[in-house]
Amino acid sequence: MTLARRIIACLDVDEGKVVKGVGFVNLEAMGDPAAMAERYEKEGADEIVFLDVSATHLGRSTLLDVVSRTAERLFIPLTVGGGVRTAEDIDRVLRAGADKIAINSAAVQTPGLLTEGSERFGAQCVVASIDARRRAGAGWEVYVSGGRKPTGLDAVEWAARCADLGAGEILLTSIDRDGTRNGYDLELLSAVCAVVSVPVIASGGAGNATHIADAFSTGADAALLAGILHDGTTDVRSLKTTLLGGGFPVRMAA
C-alpha cells in the first residue's frame, strides 16, 4: 500500500504574527496564525507547522497562548517549534495543544533531548528540524538560532544522527532556497533521504506543484509550503488536484 504524501502549511510566527521572508531575513507580517491555520485546514492541508522563529534567538520560551489559540481551531495535526530546550518544554507545548514538537537549536546543543523526548512522549511526537546552508566547497552545514549561527555540523550526517537518537521525522529546510520559489534543494533532499528511514519533510523553495512533485519523486514524504499560500499565489486544494492528476497519492478534502 502506498502512503499518501502530505502537504503541510508552515506558519513562521514572530511576536504572535505570521511572517515570511527570503533566506530567513527581511521578514514581513502576513497575518494571524490561528486564522491562517484554520483557513489552510479548510483548503485541505494535512498538517500545520507553527515555528516561533524568534524564540531561540531572543532566549525566550514558545508563545504558548498563541499555540493554544491556534490548536483549538484545528482538527489536523499541529507541529510546534521554537524555544523548546528541555523535556519539560516539550511537555508544556504538547499540553498547549501541539501534536508534535520540532527541535532545532536545542538538539544541536543537547542531542540527548531527542532521545529523552522520544522515550517520554513517543518518537511520533519528536521532529528534528534541520536548517541547512550549502557550503562553498561541497555539502551542507547545519545552522541554528533561526539560521543565524553556523555549527560546523554536516547536515546529512546530522540528519542520520537525529534519526538514530530517536527523532521520528526530519524537517529539512534549505536556507539557500527559502522564499525563492525556485524549487526545493533536491540534491540535499536526496542525500538525507538516502541515510534515514524516518519520514522527511522537504522545506524551502516551493513555487508550484511541479516543485512539490519533484520533492516527492526525490523521496520526501511531505512538502512544506508557506509564501505561495500566504499571498494567494495558489491554494492547497489546487496543488493537490494537480498532484493527484500526476499520479501522486494525496488526500483530497471532502
Confidence (pLDDT) at 39: 94
- Of these residues, 46, 52, 131, 221, which one is catalytic? 131
Distance CA 163, CA 219 (A): 16
Distance CA 4, CA 44 (A): 13
Does the global pTM surpass 0.95? no
Domains of the chain: 6-245 (3.20.20.70)
- Per-residue pLDDT band at 26 (split at 50, 70, 90): low
Sequence-distant (≥ 6) Cβ neighbours of residue 199 within 8 angstroms: 168, 169, 170, 221, 222
What digits encode the pLDDT tens for the residues 79-127? 999 889 999 999 999 999 999 999 999 999 999 999 999 999 999 999 9
What digits encode the pLDDT tens for the residues 28-55? 667 888 999 999 999 999 999 998 876 5
Residue 161 has pLDDT above 70, yes or no: yes
What digits encode the pLDDT tens for the residues 168-211? 999 999 999 998 999 999 999 999 999 999 999 999 999 999 99
Query: Is 214 in the active site?
Result: no
Query: Is 14 in the active site?
Result: no
Confidence (pLDDT) at 18: 83
Backbone angles phi, psi at 185, to 5 degrees: -80, 90
- Per-residue pLDDT band at 22 (split at 50, 70, 90): low
